[in-house]
Amino acid sequence: MDGARRTLRLPDPLDLDDALARAEPDGHGLTVLPFLAGERSPGWKGDAKAAVLGITQATRPVDILQAALEAVAYRIGLVFDLLQARADPGPRVVAAGGAVLAHPAWL
């Protein structure tokens, strides 16, 4: 998140979390392919590229970040669905980490 904060010139963390918490899900009109380092699971395409589509003059830096966070969440959901379809009934997959815990808007 620190790299995004510098690149997009985002506000300080408290203001950023507040802006993300107030934002309407998918209210930015953007589509993000979150492949900055290639695609991990499920396709494992190391040469996949990131993209941000739908930027207008009204697009704000926080909109780009929100769209990127949503894109990552959708990818995690996709992987979960693929794993769940192959798992025995009952197992549960839980994903957590420092980014999720440090930024309440992710939750």
Beta-carbon count within 10 A of 83 CB: 13
Q: What is the pLDDT of residue 53?
A: 98
Beta carbons within 8 Å of 42's beta carbon, 6+ residues apart: 78, 79, 82
pLDDT in tens, 11-61: 888 888 899 989 999 999 999 999 999 998 888 999 999 999 999 999 999
pLDDT in tens, 60-94: 999 999 999 999 989 988 988 888 888 777 766 66
Domains of the chain with CATH codes: 2-106 (3.30.420.40)
